[in-house]
């Protein structure tokens, strides 16, 4: 069976979740456009690439499909995972990778746009930010949940909500709260309890880590150097004895000689023999390796609720040779007998989500949507992930590279007429007779 035949089968599978048969053409046209070698994957150039002889009519149809039609982006992602996941080798287990990605934006009318941290730019700027959860194995990964982060100024502005078509049930939630909602929804639908990976933007949140443990999930999450822990062999004293008056004391006691330390100071206190050189995977040019140490600690931040005295967990420290300070820190609830090599490998599995976003943005136009509404933003993202899912399934099935497959649609599409002028192009003088 050819790639074109498999693409038709894939489109039929996804189309069953659209609700109406007249949306099938929009689905196929949009996904085809996303896989064409176009510099810009917004609606108009895709319409011209897919159907150059009827570009204007196709533009209107594709715009209606992505921005107006009432179909579920969550159902679309569910069907993408139904197609891709059976082709992934999860015999050795999988991973849930939590991350967010930013899209620089000018103006203030696109839904969710605000001045906030944008990872693409590495600084605070005007942008949109979306939170996602991906299912990953050692061979591949695919986003299975995706939601725009809505800043508080948007969530509490009724007029902006109305203009952007933000659903009434969408309230303000932090990125960690959105990620937890996504994980809980996946588990409620029967998803397996794989280990959760996240960067320090999520890992420093004590409530986030505690909720993952409450859900029965192991985690390996990044933290900052300021996180405070009880070092190996040191624990707080029990709470004071109850006097019979008021509430019983629950706060662990510290003394001058019994104090927690931040993970940076703990790393500096370790002897050189505590560190080992570990390789975790083959890179494109060389084997990736680093210098690591792992010790058992208890998190000491927060003295309320279940954070009063946390169970022991791993602190993984990555410290490149010759550097004055460690490069990265991780907390993990993987079993106490896990090998250091396995701990390092899982901590660095997050590279897959970075590869996902790189391909989704550079090859499949994830950030190219020019509409302003909530529905269009999520529809475009779901369709970009749908196109990406097909390419991932092709690679997993055939063992070929994504690059060998991603432009197969271009060979089936007629080229643009020589006199085609994109909408918005500057006026041109008429030719003389």
For the stretch 39-66, pLDDT in tens is 999 999 999 999 999 999 999 999 999 9
Q: Of 324, 349, 374, which residue constitutes the final position of a domain? A: 349
What's the pLDDT at 9?
Answer: 96
Domains held by the chain: number: 2
**pLDDT, mean over the chain:** 89
Q: Of 330, 349, 368, which residue constitutes the final position of a domain? A: 349
Question: Which residues does 355 contact at the CB level (< 8 Å), separation at least 6?
Answer: 141
In whole angstroms, give the CA distance from residue 78 to residue 17.
9
What percent of the chain is modeled with pLDDT above 70? 89
In whole angstroms, give the CA distance from residue 128 to residue 111.
8
Q: Are residues 204 and 185 in the same domain?
A: no
The distance from CA 248 to its chain's CA centroid, rounded to whole angstroms, is: 43
Residue 30 exposure: Cα atoms within 13 Å on the Cβ side: 31
Q: 3-class DSSP state for residue 5?
A: helix
Q: Are residues 325 and 363 in the same domain?
A: no
Q: 3-class DSSP state for residue 195?
A: strand
DSSP annotation of 320 reads: -
Q: Are strands 195-198 and 95-104 parallel, antiparallel or unpaired?
A: parallel
In whole angstroms, give the CA distance from residue 225 to residue 267.
9
Q: What is the mean pLDDT of residues 117-122?
A: 89
Q: Report pLDDT digits (tens) over 238-268.
A: 777 777 787 777 677 777 778 899 999 999 9
Q: Are residues 188 and 261 in the same domain?
A: no
Q: Of 328, 349, 370, which residue constitutes the final position of a domain? A: 349
Q: What is the mean pLDDT of residues 344-366?
A: 93
Q: 3-class DSSP state for residue 246?
A: coil
Which domain covers residue 336, as residue numbers? 200-233+257-349
Question: Two tokens at 74?
Answer: 């969550």
What's the pLDDT at 302?
Answer: 57
């Amino acid at each position: 069976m050819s790639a074109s035949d498999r693409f038709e089968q894939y489109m039929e599978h996804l189309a069953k979740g659209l609700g109406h048969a007249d949306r099938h053409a929009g689905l196929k046209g949009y996904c085809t456009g996303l896989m064409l070698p176009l510099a810009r994957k917004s609606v108009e150039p895709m319409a011209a690439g897919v159907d150059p002889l009827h570009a204007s009519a196709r533009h209107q149809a594709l715009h209606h499909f992505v921005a107006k039609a009432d179909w579920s982006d969550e159902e679309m992602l569910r069907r993408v995972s139904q197609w891709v996941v059976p082709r992934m080798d999860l015999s050795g287990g999988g991973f849930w990778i939590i991350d967010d990605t930013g899209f620089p934006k000018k103006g203030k009318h696109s839904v969710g746009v605000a001045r906030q941290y944008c990872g693409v730019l590495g600084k605070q700027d005007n942008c949109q930010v979306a939170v996602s959860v991906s299912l990953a194995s050692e061979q591949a990964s695919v986003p299975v949940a995706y939601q725009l982060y809505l800043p508080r100024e948007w969530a509490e502005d009724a007029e902006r909500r109305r203009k952007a078509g933000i659903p009434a049930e969408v309230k303000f939630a932090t990125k960690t709260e959105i990620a937890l909602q996504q994980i809980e929804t996946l588990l409620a639908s029967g998803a397996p309890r794989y280990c959760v990976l996240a960067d320090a933007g999520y890992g420093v949140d004590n409530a986030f880590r505690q909720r993952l443990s409450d859900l029965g999930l192991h985690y390996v999450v990044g933290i900052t150097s300021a996180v405070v822990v009880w070092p190996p062999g040191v624990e707080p004293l029990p709470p004071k004895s109850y006097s019979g008056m008021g509430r019983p004391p629950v706060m662990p006691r510290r003394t001058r000689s019994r104090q927690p330390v931040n993970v940076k100071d703990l790393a500096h206190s370790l002897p050189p023999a505590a560190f080992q050189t570990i390789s975790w995977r083959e890179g494109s040019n060389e084997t990736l390796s680093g210098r690591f140490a792992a010790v058992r600690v208890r998190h000491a931040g927060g003295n309320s609720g279940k954070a009063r005295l946390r169970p022991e967990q791993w602190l993984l420290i990555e410290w490149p040779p010759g550097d004055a300070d460690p490069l990265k820190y991780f907390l993990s609830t993987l079993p106490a007998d896990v090998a250091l090599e396995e701990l390092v490998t899982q901590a660095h599995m997050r590279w897959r989500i970075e590869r996902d976003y790189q391909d989704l943005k550079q090859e499949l136009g994830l950030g190219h949507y020019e509409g302003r509404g909530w529905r269009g933003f999520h529809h475009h993202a779901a369709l970009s992930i749908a196109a990406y899912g097909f390419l991932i399934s092709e690679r997993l099935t055939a063992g070929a590279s994504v690059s060998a497959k991603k432009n197969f649609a271009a060979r089936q599409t007629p080229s643009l007429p020589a006199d085609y002028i994109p909408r918005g192009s500057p006026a041109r003088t008429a030719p003389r007779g």
